[in-house]
Chain A
Amino acid sequence: MIAFEKASFGYDGHPVLEDVSLTLEAGGFYFLTGPSGSGKTTFLKLCSLALLPRGGRVAFFGEDATLLDRDRIALMRRRMGMVHQDCQFIDHLSVRRNIALPLEIAGRRTPAADKDIEDLMGWVALGHRADAYPPELSGGERQRAALARAVMLSPDLLIADEPTGNVDREMGERILSLLIELNRLGRTVLIATHDLELIRTAKREVSARVLRLADGQVRLAGHEL
């Protein structure tokens, strides 16, 4: 699904990732861990086409990232759902519109799809907040709304940066169960997190792999955590 081949990236000559080679397989469940500043966000940005490698190659669904034009990048992103830490929303649109926006952009909003939107908001327990505006939501609600929006187009790959960072344990487990459910539907899931308990909980349910980032390298930690 995403293949890194000796991919490197750095800021102002300071290397963050060096010669990273790994493949995120379709249907896999991955956790990305590592100390602060180790390059997790950079790795996720490379995975979401927000950055391009300075060296080596990153391929998405078989296509070299550096060869994608802006329109192809946009189309590629419709195959990925992304949940950022800061949960970017359009503040003057209701939560319902924000969640439905990927469908509108893809030209797939139909009356039948409206039912899916309502179901999805129920799935993330936001049915009662559908007409609220993003600035009115709590941190946890924003995380769940971002997750709902990310899965709106049934993406092949879901990327989440600390998706349980702003929620209590119970809501964290609920979000995790949603991600596991998606994975069981055949979606690839990549989660960046510091929460080891979250990883342990997930590993009881799915065959999750852990990618450890340190010293500019990403290593597959396997099942030993």
Chain B
Amino acid sequence: MLALLRGDPSADSTVPPSGATGHLTTLAAAAMALLALIAIAAAQTAGRVADDWAGALDGAATLEIAADPATAETAAERALMILRETPGIDSARRIGADEARALLAPWMGDTSMLADADLPLMLAVEEAPELDRAALELRLAGEFDDAVYLRHDRWSGTVTAAAGRLRLLALGALALTFVVTAAVVTLAARAALAMNRPVIATLRLIGAQDSYIARAFVRRFTLRTLLGAALGTGAGTALLLALASGGALPAAAPTGPAGWLALLAVPPAFGLLAFAATRAAAFHELRRVR
């Protein structure tokens, strides 16, 4: 790879400039790198959001008891006692009427009409992993007629699964950018090799080995792809930072060393891909010339 970057002036100059084919390779690599960055950002964002939501909802539950106002206090005391006695419950507290109305506000808007309504008795519960939930639910059912024990992770599971699918889609799109880049580079290299078949025939005639001839093509297309990928990565990074700082998509900006590393790995990954694709194309085409 170092030899590739250093180059061989002799081998490089034997192949005429590839002109439009080379420029198209740079342009395609830039576009694909930009799309790759967007795909990486989408995958990272989906993963991060799912983790945040799952983390926030994990182990949380609500106990709802339909009790009339007269017996609510007693029921609350009883429920709290049961919960505190139960192994595997980290904490339990009563959700006051004001807090309950505040929780309903996002769905109902103005909650002033609920001021006089009887809201069910609600308790916020934090579970520990060792909780025997089935036993608790049985006991609650025995104590209260209308007790509903709601685990919040029933929603977080759906959200996490959706985020996981979104992440897979993003990774699929990322893989697609690699496939398309490899295809474009292969086609461009093949076109350049076919265009230069007389040059290749002359070089073979005077004793050039395939590796000597391939070197010039491989170096040219690898460097063009690297350049395009670097430009695309630069543009993509600027776009993501702008989206994040402008507030349009705050989660789009890469976070932590791993996030940045994933973005910065795009140009070298594209370079390696171009190296492999051009090398395979070159040796395939060279076999046509004896």
Q: Is A77 an interface residue (CB 8 A)?
A: yes
CA distance A77 to B204 in the complex (A): 8
CB of A216 within 8 Å of the partner chain: no
B-side interface residues, number (CB < 8 Å): 21
**B10 contacts A78, C-beta separation under 8 Å:** no
Contact A105 to B16, CB < 8 A, known contacts A50-B290, A88-B201: no
Interface 9-mer from A17-25, A89-97, A114-122, A176-184: A89-97
Q: What's the minimum C-beta distance from B182 to chain A, rounded to whole angstroms?
A: 25
Contact with A along B242-253 (1 / 0, CB 8 A): 000000000000
- Cβ 8 A contact of B14, one of A88, A90, A109, A153: A90
* Residue B209 CB within 8 A of the other chain: yes
Restricting to B175-220, which residues have a CB under 8 Å from any CB of A? Answer: 198-199, 201-212
- State whether the Cβ of A104 lies closer than 8 Å to any Cβ in chain B: yes
Q: Say if the beta carbon of A26 comes within 8 Å of chain B.
A: no
Contact of B16 among A92, A109, A149, A153 (CB under 8 A): A92
A106 and B207 in contact, given A88-B202, A90-B202 (Cβ under 8 angstroms): yes
Is B71 engaged at the interface, CB distance under 8 Å to the other chain? no
A225 to chain B, nearest CB (A): 30
**A93 and B203 form a contact (CB under 8 A):** no
Interface: A75 (CB within 8 A): yes
Asked if residues A105 and B207 are in contact (CB atoms below 8 Å), the reply is yes
Which B residues touch A51, using CB under 8 A? 290
Asked if B13 lies at the interface with its beta carbon under 8 angstroms from chain A, I say yes
Q: With a CB–CB cut-off of 8 A, which chain B residues contact A82? A: 205-206
Whether A71 lies near B13 (C-beta < 8 A) is no
CB distance from B6 to the nearest CB of A (A): 15
Inter-subunit contact A88/B207 (CB<8 Å): no
Contact, CB under 8 Å: A93 / B14: yes
Q: Report yes or no: B16 in contact with A88, Cβ–Cβ below 8 A.
A: no
> Inter-chain contact count A-B, CB under 8 Å?
58
A171 at the interface (CB under 8 A from B): no
Cβ of A126 to closest chain B Cβ, rounded Å: 17
Closest-by-CB residue of B relative to A72 is B209
| Contact A105:B205 (CB < 8 A) given known A49-B290, A92-B16 | no
Residue of A nearest to B17 (CB): A92
Q: Which residues of chain A are within 8 angstroms of B13 by Cβ–Cβ distance?
A: 93, 97
Q: Are B207 and A77 in contact (CB under 8 A)?
A: yes
Interface SS, B side: helix
- A71 touching B206 by the CB < 8 A rule? no
Q: How far is the CA of A51 from the CA of B290 in the complex (A)?
A: 8
**Which chain A residues border B208 with CB–CB below 8 Å?**
74, 105
User: Which residues of chain A come closer than 8 Å to B287, judged between CB atoms?
Assistant: 70
B67: min CB distance to chain A, Å: 88
Interface size bucket, A side?
20 to 34
Judged by a CB distance under 8 angstroms, whether A27 is at the interface is: no
Nearest Cβ distance between residue B213 and chain A, in whole angstroms?
9
> Is A1 part of the binding interface, using a Cβ–Cβ cutoff of 8 Å?
no
CB-nearest residue of chain B relative to A70? B210
Partner of A89, one of B202, B207, B209: B202
Nearest chain B residue, comparing its CB with the CB of A149:
B206
Q: Is the CB of A74 within 8 A of B202?
A: no
Given A50-B290, A70-B210, A88-B198, also A109-B10 (CB < 8 A) = yes
A191 nearest CB across to chain B (Å): 17
Which one, B14, B198, B211, contacts A101 given CB within 8 A? B14
Q: CA of A75 to CA of B210 in the docked complex: distance in angstroms?
A: 11
Segment 122-166 of B: residues with Cβ below 8 Å from A? none
Q: Is the CB of A70 within 8 A of B199?
A: no
Q: Least Cβ distance of A11 to chain B in Å?
A: 15
- For window 56-82 of A, CB contacts with B under 8 Å fall at 70-71, 73-75, 77-78, 82
Contact B205 A77 (CB under 8 A): yes
* B residues near A172, Cβ cutoff 8 Å: none
Instruction: List 17 A–B pairs whose Cβ atoms lie within 8 Å, in order of A's numbering.
Output: A48-B205, A70-B287, A74-B209, A75-B207, A75-B209, A77-B204, A77-B205, A89-B202, A90-B14, A90-B199, A90-B202, A104-B10, A105-B10, A105-B203, A105-B207, A105-B209, A105-B212
A sample of 16 more A-B contacts (CB under 8 A), given A48-B205, A75-B209, A105-B209, is A51-B290, A70-B286, A71-B209, A71-B210, A71-B211, A74-B208, A74-B209, A82-B205, A82-B206, A88-B198, A88-B202, A90-B202, A93-B13, A102-B207, A104-B10, A105-B10
Task: Report, nearest first, the 7 A-B pairs whose CB atoms are least far apart.
Answer: A78-B207, A77-B207, A88-B202, A104-B10, A74-B209, A102-B206, A105-B208
